[in-house]
Amino acid sequence: MAGHTENAIVIAAPMALVWDMTNDVRTWPSLFSEYESVEILSEDGPTVQFRLTMHPDESGTKWSWVSERTPEPRTRTVRARRVEPGPFEYMRIFWSYREVPGGTEMRWEQDFHLRPEAPIDDPAMAERINANSAVQMKRIKGLVEQAAEEST
């Protein structure tokens, strides 16, 4: 059994601004509340490989992993995966953007499967991802909408 989540939000901002702000991996520690730092490891054309480090959890542990993402500006999609999957056998993320009434819809689809020895199972991880995606998307919406207002 594999896990799957799908979350979306409409951001009241032009597509170009939403695309640019959410695909600038270097700024993710200020865009996402969960990331303490990002280190760019390599860039090959549009593909970027990077290490994300989260803020310490309640026990003081700083979780970190390497991911890779490839944006496709023509289709306004991004394919990403964890290179160092940690507790996951795999983790793939598909971002898509489309213009809708009221702005730009940003959608995240995540497909994953946890290793048998992971401390939780796929349904529990899906619950965590869904809860956190809502928090992060709301934050991103606010920051991008603020930038849109400031640019007018």
What is the CATH number for 83?
3.30.530.20
Concatenated DSSP letters for the chain? --EEEEEEEEESS-HHHHHHHHT-GGGHHHHSSSEEEEEEEEEETTEEEEEEEEPP-TTS---EEEEEEEEETTTTEEEEEESS-TTEEEEEEEEEEEEETTEEEEEEEEEEEE-TTSSS-HHHHHHHHHHHHHHHHHHHHHHHHHHHHHT-
Mean pLDDT across the stretch 117-125? 93
In a domain, 82, yes or no: yes
The 10s digit of each residue's pLDDT in 42-87 is 999 999 999 999 999 888 888 899 999 999 999 999 999 999 988 8
pLDDT of residue 85: 82
Q: What's the Cα-to-Cα distance from 63 to each of 41, 56, 93, rounded to whole Å?
A: 17, 7, 18
What is the pTM (predicted TM-score) of this model? 0.94
Do the domain assignments include residue 142? yes
User: Considering its fold, how many domains does the chain have in total?
Assistant: 1
In this structure, is residue 53 part of a structural domain? no
Residue 76 lies in a domain: yes
Q: Beta strand 88-100 with 3-11: parallel, antiparallel or unpaired?
A: unpaired
The answer to the question of residue 34 being in a domain is no
Distance CA 82, CA 106 (A): 20
pLDDT band at 28 (very low <50, low <70, confident <90, very high): very high
| Confidence (pLDDT) at 1 | 66
d(CA 147, CA 82): 29
141: in domain: yes
Q: Positive or negative, the Cα torsion across 21, 23, 26, 27?
A: positive
Looking at every residue in the chain, the average pLDDT score rounds to 95
Q: What six digits make up the tokens of 116?
A: 């048998």
Domain limits at 130?
3-25+71-150
